[in-house]
Structure 1
């Protein structure tokens, strides 16, 4: 029951896979690669084993509360606690996707925001004092990506609760269904989902301050993955560097922050930093 445990969601490929690789090399504990699809998860574990690394595997679909509960009970029974949780699982529709805006809005926020909320609700009770949570956000998660000043002020409210934030996310989905979202929210459901995730990070930290648990959001960079249609200039291992920094190396004073791909703490509400690759 005393083993240290790290968990990475959506880790069978891309940045999540590289984060598992980095944790296996440096984390003094057991690393769980999780994925929705067991076959792909097993293939990812086998690939890392060929590199001499030894992650453990467990199926985990963050959109399914039953899957989350099964995983929680497994970890609780076998180990008792979690020391590192990397919320990496996410989706993004392609720019030329034929799906209606309303469908894209509902599905993107279901996976990228609401499922992360439920993941945290179910797994956070297992976080050990001193644990670290890394929420994989994006440059799209910068507050400046939301056009409406009124909405930006709402997201920054220091007393904003998770239920209130979730209501905001539902308001966006409803606006997308009505076709009225563009002026206030912009035209990207992915942007809204990642702004929501970054806002969630700040609320979570506020709620966990008394438990010495660090929760941070990170923009990993523009990475060569399926999600970016392999247009990103960074390798997945380069994209894993900032998340690994927060999971393993950042000072304990780094909490509730929005961290850029070069490991800088940046202002979420100020000017959006440039990306230099």
Structure 2
């Protein structure tokens, strides 16, 4: 097996994902993949980082497209054989004034943010090496308390919850990502032989990006701080972490 360590960041041609790639290029002892749905935008982001003196690798990856995910998996298998850090950053969010119906928004948001993330995980988890780290980018919207129904909150927090499982599609999708993190860690803990893999979710903060219509007060570098902490330093498993790197009780009744 290749001795070179490999990190992969999905949806990383701009915003927080781009800053995570930049931070990994600075601190990770290995090669870092910037991935993007759009080939041209991804290549432009890589060129920008190379102009700053970094050497990211690039591969097209659309987490909503099974063929794209399969192609990326085959590439990693063939060229590197394994992954040491996987940051699931790719996601979408509709603007308040989006013309699409709520039903259409809900279907696509959950399809990308939850099922797209799950699709990538199902493809790449077999390639994770011993001691690998997985970071699922969630949100403050991904805290369990954001689900208004006590009955539905109980279902999300059930210890027997499986992968198949408000008025905001984004909230539901990100609560799903946070819940998925707990499920994934539980499954990795039961692995035999055990690869000692950690999976954590993180709220990166309210960041100045296209997704927030540039209303967030944090820079993309500040938004990348906690994801990088989980990718490189933290000794946590199955946890939900705030943008300032402190641990938050995902099951708690209030947000920080």
TM superposition score category, shorter chain reference: over 0.9
Instruction: Quote the residue 2:43 is aligned against.
Output: 42
**Distance in 2, Cα, partners of 1:69 & 1:38:** 16
> Aligned to 1:198, which of 157, 165, 178?
178
1:118 aligns with 2:109: no
The answer to which structure has the higher helix fraction is: 1
Contact 2:208 2:220 in 1 (8 A): yes
**Distance in 2, Cα, partners of 1:100 & 1:60:** 27
State the TM-score, normalizing by the size of structure 2: 0.97
Could you report, residue by residue, the CA deviation over 1:234-276 in whole angstroms, capped at 9, with x for unpaired residues? 000000000000000102xx000000001011100113333xx
Instruction: Quote the residue 1:262 is aligned against.
Output: 244
**Distance in 2, Cα, partners of 1:226 & 1:52:** 25
Mapping 1:86-97, distance limit 5 Å? 86-97=87-98
Mapping 1:13-162, distance limit 5 Å? 13-162=14-163
**Distance in 2, Cα, partners of 1:211 & 1:271:** 33
Describe the SS at the equivalent of 2:81.
Answer: coil
**How many residue pairs get matched?**
251
> Aligned to 1:216, which of 200, 204, 214?
200
**Distance in 2, Cα, partners of 1:218 & 1:77:** 31
**Distance in 1, Cα, partners of 2:91 & 2:175:** 13
Shift of 1:161: 1.2
Contact 2:145 2:255 in 1 (8 A): no
**Distance in 2, Cα, partners of 1:162 & 1:12:** 28
1:225 aligns with 2:205: no
Describe the SS at the equivalent of 1:129.
Answer: strand
**Distance in 2, Cα, partners of 1:98 & 1:58:** 32
5+ unaligned residues in a row in structure 1: which ranges?
Answer: 166-185
5+ unaligned residues in a row in structure 2: which ranges?
Answer: none
**Distance in 1, Cα, partners of 2:98 & 2:155:** 30
Instruction: Quote the residue 2:168 is aligned against.
Output: 188
